[in-house]
Amino acid sequence: MAVITKEVCYHCGDECSSKLLLKDEKNFCCNGCLNVYSILAAGNLQNYYKLNNYPGASQKKEIQAFDYLNIPEITAKLVNYQDTDKTIVTLYLPAIHCSSCIWLLEHLNKLDAGVTESRVDFLKKQIYLQFNHNHTKLQQIAQLLTSIGYEPLISLQDVVNNDVSKKDRLIPKIAVAGFCFGNVMLLAFPAYFGIAPSERHFGEFFSLLSLAFCIPAVFYSGLDYFKRAYVSLKQGVLNIDFPLALGIAVLLIRTIADYVFNVGEGFADTLTGLVFFLLIGKLVQQKTYHHLSFERDYRSFFPVAVDVINENGEIIPIALENIKEGDRISVKNQEIIPADAILLNGNALIDFSFVTGESKPIQKVLGEIIYAGGRQTAGSLELEVIKPVSQSYLTGLWNNESFQKANDNKTKTFVTKVSHYFSIILLSLATLTLLFWLPYSWQTGLNAFTAILIIACPCALALSTPFTMGAALSIFDKNKFYLKNTDVVEQLAAIDTIVFDKTGTVTLADNNSIEFIGNVLNGLESNIIYSICKNSSHPLSRKICGFLNTSKVIAIEDFKEIPGKGMHTIYQGYEIFIGSTSFVPHASTRLVDFPQVHININGEYLGYFKINQKLRPQLGELMLSLSTNYQTYLISGDGNQDNSLLKHYFKSESHLLYQQSPQDKLDFIAKQQRNDAKVLMIGDGLNDAGALQQSNSGIAVTDNINNFTPGSDAILDGTSFHLLPDFLKFSKATVNIIHLSFCIAVCYNIIGISFAIQGKLSPLIAAILMPLSTVTIILFTSISTHIQAKKHNLIS
Amino acid sequence: MTIIYFLIACSVVLAICFLAAFFWSHNSGQNKDLYTPAIRILFDDELVEEKPSNENNSEKDN
């Protein structure tokens, strides 16, 4: 009995579907993969394949030329460092995914001797390259990387924005605070156990030394709290930093005063501990996600350089920002139109789905204006630029005031709201206590006044949010839901209305969802079908054309299209029907879930094209569970051809809006917000960037995480789309945890304040209460977040 | 008991040394990428076998 094994590509592990490519007794799925193998084999780098099975990325895509990397002004902006013979550059390679990648990329000098050093940062997917530019060029390296399957992603933003590498000073600050805290604790222990009168001089020495440790802790590590408190006071806002800064200041003054007047040990231990714990909270809060960039704008969407045709007909690449009015540019298939331009030559079939949301490519005729942002889908074009990039339609749209608007309409976070009242209550309580004690003893009064400010310092409050959010964010992260920052969780918990974009959000963007059911079509039959469908602009005809794109156009006669039914034509005397079940003779409907196109040639029924439902899987359950708690809307730039498919998922047909421009979408969201709705917008492209921005929180759904995701508060991987209701419930649970932990913090504060009001707060009580409340909060938040995540099936 | 003064001075100086060592390692970028080195260290064995032959080849080519 013969055993049938499927041949898989030695390089990428894809199935070898068509004809087999063989080399060294290994199978390859395509020429690209074979090429990569040949390059690596020639460079003696077969180890690449030993470290992991099928480590390569599929090479079925076309290779870019990177000609623009020969333009000195572009490379100058990309490189980190350059001298007479050495260049250092950091490139982003999205294809890095396994240990074989690291091994191969760090042995790049075997393939290009000009490379002197290459190091990979796996998590950031970056390669740090040092090369001798007398022996090799950046363009050659980029081509080499592409040819071995690691195409560098170079966008205009990398070229324009170069000052992203801000130095992170938080870690050194924590180190200093921890150092001071540890030493002060060591010195404070003798005082906790009591120092004998004969050894009093030791106590004084310890206090002085502790005071010395407080200075760096306050003026180096804690300085940011004073700065932020000052800034917020200037704006007339009492945020959480104000009571924190006040607490730190009072602690320092008390400690100095206690030492100078020799009245006590001071609060050095509490002070350094407070700064240390606060900074730890800050670190948890600041944990950023390097694999995602939220700060991108339209520039990362455009190419870095454009092919310009000069007077002599030569094609030279020119940096995008140097494109002038009147330049003649050449745009190849699958490239983006970089600036508003007039069509001079070529067959322009432009896909504007990124700008308008309409997924059907639009045919443009010679002399017509083509706006920037469209993607050419048929052959190369020659265009004349009429507006430079910075003034084009798309850039104008992007720079529109409403797109730029600061996030004023985003909900205020819980901590912001609470800390406002917290500061007021704290200050009035302290003042009242002072006034109460003044007639009896000003020392006790001052003591109680400072003690209240110290003990009520909202350390636990400041920590509860970062720790809960940190835990929640990492759980979202594991489920491929990436939030811009922690405030987004609170925004998600508050929403009551959800607006979906159509293309790429509820429907899948790819076109490979069509198959023919029936007898296998022969060459002539597919030629006939292709030629007929090419005459029709119906979306299903377009899809069939895309499916049969290898066929030839042949002459057909008597073409008739009956809207809503199908097409009827004659070819060499054969009568041909293409269309719906009721229209095509002998056709019968098998399943009604998906659109189908039946074919009948010369009275013989051949079968039908099955257009697979391109809705996201599990959309039904998702919409069902969302619509019980939320208002759901669909808003689309597309025509209403999918209305029949989608309307079941929404409460009424008025909740589905079609042919909406980006501005309409924005206005719709704003209208809902005026009716006090908290709107969640779920979209994908640049065309809903304004709506994403305007909404209370905006989620971008993407099937490729490296995609451009403008104006959004969160990025959701398409494979996790069905988890959306769980994400929303978990956000609510997270916010509840923060409220509860706030209650716990208040309980501790009440205990502390009851000591402080009586003027009985000893440094020992402060030193115990502060860390105790902190540890309780951290434990409570982490454990309960974990339990909630389990409850919503977000972790196993 | 005055030896305490000396001991504390010693301990503080020692702690400052460690702090300085941490600052040095942080500023020289040793904490930047904590993941890749863990993978990189597993590569070397096979590499040692290969390197000489490869270098010989390239010399012959030149």
Are A121 and B11 in contact (CB < 8 Å)? no
Q: What is the pLDDT of residue A392?
A: 66
Are B35 and A110 in contact (CB < 8 Å)? no
Of A44, A47, A122, the CB nearest to B36: A122
Secondary structure class of A483 (helix, strand, coil): strand
Q: What is the pLDDT of residue A11?
A: 76
Q: What is the pLDDT of residue B15?
A: 94
Band (pLDDT 50/70/90 cuts) for residue A163 is very low
Of A102, A106, A179, the CB nearest to B19: A179
Task: Please report the domains of chain A, with CATH numbers, ordered by start residue.
Answer: 1-61 (no CATH), 67-154 (3.30.70.100), 298-399 (2.70.150.10), 445-507+616-796 (3.40.50.1000), 514-611 (3.40.1110.10)
Q: What is the pLDDT of residue B19?
A: 94
| pLDDT at A299 exceeding the cut of 80 | no
Q: Report the distance separating Cα A52 and Cα A345, nearest Å.
A: 48
Among A167-171, A264-268, A522-526, the range scoring the smallest mean pLDDT is A167-171
Cα→Cα distances A334→A279, A350, A363, Å: 49, 9, 15
B interface toward A at CB cutoff 8 Å?
1, 4-5, 8, 11-12, 15-16, 19, 22-23, 26, 31-33, 35-36, 39-40, 42-43, 46-47, 50, 53-54, 57-58
Q: Are A248 and A218 in contact (CB under 8 A)?
A: yes
Summarised one tens digit per residue, pLDDT across range A516-559 is 777 777 778 888 888 787 776 666 776 777 777 666 777 777 77
A45, two tokens:
């780098």
| pLDDT at A659 exceeding the cut of 80 | no
Spell out which residues of chain A touch residue B46, defining contact as CB-CB under 8 Å: 47, 50
Are A124 and B33 in contact (CB < 8 Å)? yes
Of A47, A122, A182, the CB nearest to B39: A122
Q: What is the pLDDT of residue A24?
A: 73
Q: Report the distance separating Cα A261 and Cα A483, nearest Å.
A: 52
Residue where the block lists tokens 């050495």:
A86
Q: What is the pLDDT of residue B11?
A: 92
Give A781's contacts (C-beta < 8 A, 6+ positions apart): A464, A467, A468, A471, A737, A738, A741
Give A108's contacts (C-beta < 8 A, 6+ positions apart): A115, A118, A129, A141, A144, A145
A37, burial (CB in 10 Å: exposed 0-12, middle 13-18, buried 19+): buried
Shortest CA distance to A499 belongs to which of A728, A680, A709? A680
A interface toward B at CB cutoff 8 Å?
44, 47, 50-51, 99, 102-103, 106, 110, 113, 119-124, 171-172, 175-176, 179, 182-183, 186-187, 199, 202, 205, 209
Of A44, A119, A179, the CB nearest to B54: A44
Q: Return the exposure string of A643-658: e unless at least 16 CB atoms fall within 10 Å of the residue's CB, then b.
A: eebbeebbeeeebbbb
Q: Report the distance separating Cα A775 and Cα A280, nearest Å.
A: 12
Q: Report the distance separating Cα A540 and Cα A595, nearest Å.
A: 8
Distance of CA A724 to the CA centre of its chain: 16
Spell out which residues of chain A touch residue B33, defining contact as CB-CB under 8 Å: 121-124
Residue A125's closest chain B neighbor by CA? B36
Band (pLDDT 50/70/90 cuts) for residue A291 is very low
Ramachandran sector of residue A504 (left: φ over 0; alpha: ψ -120 to 50; beta: rest) = left
Residue with the larger pLDDT of the pair A597 and A564: A597
Secondary structure class of A118 (helix, strand, coil): strand
| pLDDT at A683 exceeding the cut of 70 | yes
Summarised one tens digit per residue, pLDDT across range A36-62 is 777 777 777 777 777 777 777 666 555
Q: What is the pLDDT of residue A136?
A: 85
Of B12, B23, B26, the CB nearest to A183: B12
For range A95-123, the mean pLDDT: 82
pTM exceeds 0.90 for this model: no
Are A175 and B15 in contact (CB < 8 Å)? no
Residues facing A15 on adjacent strands: A8
Spell out which residues of chain A touch residue B12, defining contact as CB-CB under 8 Å: 183, 209
Helix (H) or strand (E) holding A307: strand A305-309
CB pairs under 8 A between A and B: 57
Spell out which residues of chain B touch residue A113, defining contact as CB-CB under 8 Å: 58
Q: Report the distance separating Cα A99 and Cα A120, nearest Å.
A: 10
Are A50 and B46 in contact (CB < 8 Å)? yes
Q: Are A419 and A242 in contact (CB under 8 A)?
A: yes
Spell out which residues of chain B touch residue A179, defining contact as CB-CB under 8 Å: 15-16, 19
Among A197-201, A269-273, B26-30, the range scoring the smallest mean pLDDT is A197-201
Helices A459-478 & A763-791, crossing angle to 10 degrees?
20
A364, two tokens:
């443009």
Are B39 and A110 in contact (CB < 8 Å)? no
Q: In Å, how far is B36's CA from the nearest CA of chain A? A: 5
Band (pLDDT 50/70/90 cuts) for residue A161 is very low
Q: Report the distance separating Cα A185 and Cα A269, nearest Å.
A: 6
Q: What is the pLDDT of residue A651?
A: 78
Measured at the alpha carbon of residue B47, what is the angle toward residues B41 and B50, in degrees to the nearest 5? 180
Summarised one tens digit per residue, pLDDT across range A506-521 is 777 555 567 777 777 7
Which one of A48, A179, A213, A221 would you mutate to disrupt binding with B, by most B Cβ within 10 Å of its Cβ?
Answer: A179
**DSSP-assigned letters across all residues of A235-254:** TT---THHHHHHHHHHHHHH
A693, two tokens:
């921005």
Among A74-78, A208-212, A408-412, the range scoring the smallest mean pLDDT is A408-412
Summarised one tens digit per residue, pLDDT across range B15-60 is 999 999 999 998 887 877 778 888 888 776 554 444 444 444 443 3
Secondary structure class of A308 (helix, strand, coil): strand
Secondary structure class of A599 (helix, strand, coil): strand
CB atoms closer than 10 angstroms to residue A594: 14
Summarised one tens digit per residue, pLDDT across range A399-440 is 555 444 444 444 567 777 787 888 888 889 889 988 988 888
Domain that holds residue B53: 3-61
Q: What is the pLDDT of residue A398?
A: 56
Q: Report the distance separating Cα A576 and Cα A563, nearest Å.
A: 16
Are A120 and B36 in contact (CB < 8 Å)? yes
Mean pLDDT of chain A: 78
Band (pLDDT 50/70/90 cuts) for residue A575 is confident
Give A762's contacts (C-beta < 8 A, 6+ positions apart): none
Q: In Å, how far is B56's CA from the nearest CA of chain A? A: 12
Among A14-23, A100-109, A268-277, A574-583, the range scoring the smallest mean pLDDT is A14-23
Q: Are A477 and A296 in contact (CB under 8 A)?
A: no
A409, two tokens:
């309409």
Are B39 and A176 in contact (CB < 8 Å)? no
Spell out which residues of chain A touch residue B13, defining contact as CB-CB under 8 Å: none
Residue A511 has phi, psi (to 5 degrees) of -105, 5
Q: Report the distance separating Cα B45 and Cα A122, nearest Å.
A: 21
